[in-house]
Amino acid sequence: MNERSGKYFKAIYDYVAENSSSITVKVDDVLEMLNSPNNNSDWVLVARCKQAKGRLDTVMSEKGFCPRNYLVPFIPPQRAPSESLRPLTASKKPPVQRSQKPVVDKDEPPSRKPMVRPVVGKPASKPRPARPVSTPGPMPSGRLSDNVGDLPENIQAIIAEFDDIMEESEQKAAARQEALDQFTEDLAEQVSVIEGARASIDDKIVELQETLETWQGDIEAARTRLAAIKGEAE
């Protein structure tokens, strides 16, 4: 990390993008600031342009600054500092206004009371009472058209049509659920049939293997007997 004018430079990755749209111009501004004699200013370059990050890293590393670890003291060239540039010094709070003392008119006789100038100000506003929290009542059961009350006929017709659509949807949903349950039941039955057939096939395979082994033993015995007969004939 380099040391300039007795200050260490630390990384701040944002560049003011309000007055320039070119990244090259922004980098040139940074270089001009670094080479200017006003680098001891309290103003800091607060950067908001993410596109200038890589370019600034490259230029700063070429100039000997550690990337991601530099602080640029900044005064905008030929521009007044904007609101986006905040000074490092602590902000001063406005002085607290004290109540005014009564002003005494010296020309009046001492027997009269001193005149007090009224302090102009807004009266204190009274707090508003809290609104009562309304709790929703129970939902009406059955068709909505049974609870319309004294609504106009066109509104009642719309509500009745909505009830018909809802009933039709519920019937379709019930039919779909019934078909799904029947399909699930049929599928389970078919799976059980397939598992039973598979067990039967396994049994048949075992039985055929045992029969094959028996046949192989009979064939070996027949071959041995045939060899013995040939030996006796010779």
Q: Concatenate the DSSP letters of all residues of 103-159 into one string.
A: PPPTTS-TTSPPP-PPPP-PPPPPPPPPPPPPPP-PPPPS-GGGG--S--HHHHHHH
**Digit-coded pLDDT (tens) for 142-170:** 666 666 667 788 888 888 888 889 889 99
Which value, in Å, is the radius of gyration of the alpha carbons in the chain? 49
Structure tokens at 149: 């009350």
Domain spans, the chain: 1-87, 144-234
Give the Cα separation of 64 and 214 in Å (integer): 92
pLDDT band with cut points at 50, 70 and 90 for residue 233: confident
**Digit-coded pLDDT (tens) for 96-114:** 555 555 555 556 555 555 5
Percent of the chain's residues with pLDDT above 70: 37
pLDDT band with cut points at 50, 70 and 90 for residue 179: very high
**Digit-coded pLDDT (tens) for 21-51:** 444 445 555 555 555 555 443 333 434 334 4
